[in-house]
Amino acid sequence: MSAPDLKLLLAAPRGFCAGVDRAIQIVERTLEKYGAPVYVRHEIVHNRYVVENLEKKGAVFVDELSDVPKDVPVIFSAHGVAKAVPQEAERRNMFYIDATCPLVSKVHREAERHEKDGMEIVLIGHRGHPEVIGTMGQLEDGRISLVETVEDAKEFQPQNPTAKLAYLTQTTLSVDETRDIVETLRSRFPDIASPKKEDICYATTNRQAAVKQLASHCDGMLVIGAPNSSNSMRLVEVAKKSGCQNVSLVQRASDIPWEKLQNCKNIGITAGASAPETLVEEVVDAFSAHYTVSVEEVVTSEEHVTFKLPRVLEN
């Protein structure tokens, strides 16, 4: 008996963004140049497959600088860190390499500039996320107010009613939800300053747009990514809001919810910005073992962004 037919629609773009690719390269190049072990403060990116592969090559992931022995390189993750972290590394005479995504660093510089200009800063983001901790940690405690929801934006009260306001955003938020929060802030504070260029990164925006395009054509969707990955979780939300309720987050093929998908004819697949293409291929192969699969890539935009490595690793 022949296997049932199934169409897989692959979102494009999907998977690694330039910031994630750069961060992984930084760990690999540091290992090549200085040898193992190389220590990394926090997960370099939010993906266990990536982290475990780097561990096999000699990377050691730790929570704090106090866990790093003397005389070994330490790398800061792509999500960025508070200013206190490199300051502590310098105080300890540690050799550190910063793998912060340049688009996150841009938000850090915006925060510094706004404070220098005497503005009160609102950050739109998710409390406890490493990127938010890093951005808020660019300034002294209390200098940045966090707004997570439209309700928060309605209730927000400036610390200084006479100061000019500016807002920043986490780079991996839902484009639509962020727009609603910004509109709420603008309705209350018409003069609030916005970023010169959108803070939500190109990769987040493009992946959400691709999912929107796919969702209405699918009776099931899989987002390949980690539960602690903000951009992956936002893809699940966007897919549901765009017309496909049967959406699951999977870390790899072993997580595929076969029962939920057994009556599907068209399944959409995307991957968060920290999920490698290898995991997409693994999922496609798993479906091919159960179905007669046809694969179509649905391209909504093309990406050609690359970021330079830190100078210390260029040679």
Concerning whether 183 is annotated as a catalytic residue, the answer is: no
Mean confidence (pLDDT) of the chain: 96
Task: Give φ, ψ of 131 to 5 degrees.
Answer: -65, -40
pLDDT digits (tens, 9 = 90+) for 250-296: 999 999 999 999 999 999 999 999 999 999 999 999 999 999 999 99
Question: Does residue 196 have a pLDDT over 90?
Answer: no
C-alpha span between 108 and 82 (Å, rounded)? 9
Q: Give yes or no for residue 2 having a pLDDT over 80.
A: no
The band of 1, judged by pLDDT with boundaries at 50, 70 and 90, is low
Which of 131, 259, 282, 303 does the annotation list as catalytic?
Answer: 131
Banded pLDDT at 161 (limits 50, 70, 90): confident
CB 261 within 8 A of CB 267: yes
pTM tops 0.75: yes
5-16+202-299 in CATH: which number?
3.40.1010.20
Q: Which pLDDT belongs to residue 6? A: 97
pLDDT of residue 314: 83
Q: Write phi, then psi, for 145 (nearest 5 degrees).
A: -100, 135
Contacts for 38 with CB less than 8 Å, ≥ 6 apart: 27, 30, 31, 58, 59, 60, 72, 73, 74, 75
CATH number of the structural domain 18-98: 3.40.50.11270
Residue in the structure block whose two tokens are 């960025």? 80
Of the chain, the end-to-end C-alpha distance in Å amounts to 58
DSSP category for residue 312: G
Q: Could you give the 3-state DSSP secondary structure of residue 315? A: coil
Say if residues 152 and 184 touch (Cβ distance below 8 Å): no
Query: For domain 102-199, is the CATH number 3.40.1010.20?
Result: yes
Mean pLDDT score, 186-199: 94
Q: What is the mean pLDDT of residues 118-126?
A: 97
CA dist list (Å): 306 to 16, 22, 309? 11, 8, 10
Angle between helices 175-188 and 202-215 (to 10 degrees): 110
- Give start-end residues of each CATH 3.40.1010.20 domain in the chain: 5-16+202-299, 102-199
What's residue 151's pLDDT? Answer: 98
**Size (the chain), residues:** 315
